[in-house]
Amino acid sequence: MNAVSLAGTALNRSSLVAPRLAGRACFLLFRNAKPGGKIRDVEREVHDRAVVEELSVNGRRVVTYRWGDGARPVLLVHGWQSRASRFAAFIPRLEAAGFSPIGFDAPGHGDSGGRTTTILEYRETIRLLQARYGPFDAAIAHSFGVLAAFLALRGTLNAARLVAVAGISDLRYLLDEFCRRLSLNDLLKQDLRRRIEQDLFPDTPEIWQRFDATHRREEITPPILLIHDQHDATAPITQAHRLKAAYRAGRISAGRVHGNAGRHPVRAQPEGPAVTVNRPGRRHCLRGKRRAHTADRRLG
């Protein structure tokens, strides 16, 4: 039995004798953002040459990173339990193409303060970066960062195009997947849902609709490139198909990925040209040739 199974079994048993305590433990585990935040050796050179600055989000220090000469800025939005350095393989290529990558460690991630965050703090961080560096030529987001990017595009983020890598499309999926992996009983699942609504987002109504990448889709105007591993066990390709259907994308660049699009190195090999777009007649400008996305990626 692995650590995840052991944790789920312990929580389920505890919920029968101490439901409040088990519910709180489950909620804290759901919110934990710190694991997997160290800089890897292959990222060190790119990470160390960034211009490092800081922002303040809800009183916490948020570390930001800047590469390039400032021309044609591209926003990088990392996923849950990740950090900006996971984009290290992308950054030299973006610089060579004349872009200036802008990244950040979200609150509770990487070198930023705290141990957790919310999608609203992601949005606030993006808003502050937009004020400092925007508008952006593009935003490249991964996993949970994709959901945050869609939220920010509805009023906060001005980006000419969006690249969504192994994207999560809605908050409900995160709840369901967390409960599935831990095999949580109905009592804990219902309690976790209540805590998310009342404790995590007490002043935000209709969170399950609001924190959905397909919500108010008429407000999302940039072209969208969807890149997804068809065998991704962390974010199944059904998440990309959901976005494709909502935004009428031509197709998904679905590659074979060695590794995992969560917290491990991945190597994407798209089958065919990566030219997926979301608006008929409009093409994104971060386009490559066949297998142009074959590269070592260390995302999330």
For the beta carbon of residue 44, count every other beta carbon within 10 angstroms.
Answer: 12
**What percent of the chain lies above the pLDDT cut of 90?**
74
Give the residue, 127 or 251, on which the prediction is more confident. 127
Q: Which residue has the higher pLDDT, 37 or 134?
A: 134
pLDDT at 80: 94
Q: Is the predicted pLDDT of residue 294 greater than 80, yes or no?
A: no
pLDDT digits (tens, 9 = 90+) for 228-239: 998 888 899 999
Query: What is the rounded distance in angstroms from the CA atom of residue 191 to the CA atom of residue 19?
Result: 9
pTM: 0.86
What is the arrangement of strands in the sheet containing 253-259, beginning at the earlier edge strand? Answer: 51-57, 60-66, 100-104, 73-77, 138-142, 162-165, 224-229, 253-259, 266-270, 296-297
- Least Cα distance to 31 among 178, 161, 156, 226 occurs for 178
Q: How high is the mean pLDDT of the chain?
A: 85
The boundaries of every CATH 3.40.50.1820 domain in the chain are 43-170+222-297
Q: Please, which pLDDT band fits residue 249 given cuts at 50, 70 and 90?
A: low
Q: How confident is the model at residue 3 (pLDDT cuts 50, 70, 90)?
A: confident
- Domain 43-170+222-297 matching CATH 3.40.50.1820: the answer reads yes
